[in-house]
Amino acid sequence: MPKIIFIVGHHNTGKTTLAEKLSKELSLRGYRVGYIKHDPKGHGITDREGSDSYRIFQILDKVALLSVGKLTLWEKTEDDPIKAVERYFSDFDVVLLEGWKSIRGFKKLVLGDLDAEGFRIDEKVSIEEIINYILT
């Protein structure tokens, strides 16, 4: 099972920017890194209404689009990030999860003034300190 790290904070506090920096740095150090972003309001549109895959997904529980060098999968599932990590990222070293601030029992990187337990990130904290927190 990989190390699971939640990156939490209010909107526009730098969660995705931090995920990008950590992804690059950990990958450069030889770690296999995965990423899951929470979309609780369903704003992330990955398929056009009326497209072939959209229409078939209204009928079936799992549909995929295979393009050159990329597989896009639509699967009806519950909103459980830990099960998603277990199912799709079990062979990774680290999985960064952006969001899910209410989940407990896992390491969290906390940005901004969010009232949550975890390692508080501000401009004084170095990337090295963050990586040490993740890997220990």
**Domain count across the chain:** 2
Instruction: Say how far apart CA 109 and CA 131 lie, in whole Å.
Output: 11
Which of 136, 131, 133 minimizes the C-alpha distance to 26?
A: 131
> Where among 58, 76, 94 does a domain terminate?
76
Q: What would the pLDDT profile of 30-42 be if each residue is shown by its tens digit?
A: 999 999 999 887 7
- With tokens 């975890």, the residue in question is 118
- With tokens 């506090």, the residue in question is 13
Q: Are residues 22 and 83 in the same domain?
A: yes
For the entire predicted model, the pTM comes to 0.89
Residue 96: pLDDT band (50, 70, 90) is: very high
Q: Are residues 64 and 36 in the same domain?
A: no
Q: What would the pLDDT profile of 28-77 be if each residue is shown by its tens digit?
A: 999 999 999 998 877 777 888 888 888 989 989 999 999 999 999 989 99
Are 8 and 111 spatial neighbours (Cβ–Cβ below 8 Å)? yes
CATH number at residue 28: 3.40.50.300
Q: Are residues 57 and 122 in the same domain?
A: no
Domain membership of residue 102 as a residue range: 3-40+79-135
> Where among 76, 97, 120 does a domain terminate?
76
Are 97 and 81 spatial neighbours (Cβ–Cβ below 8 Å)? yes
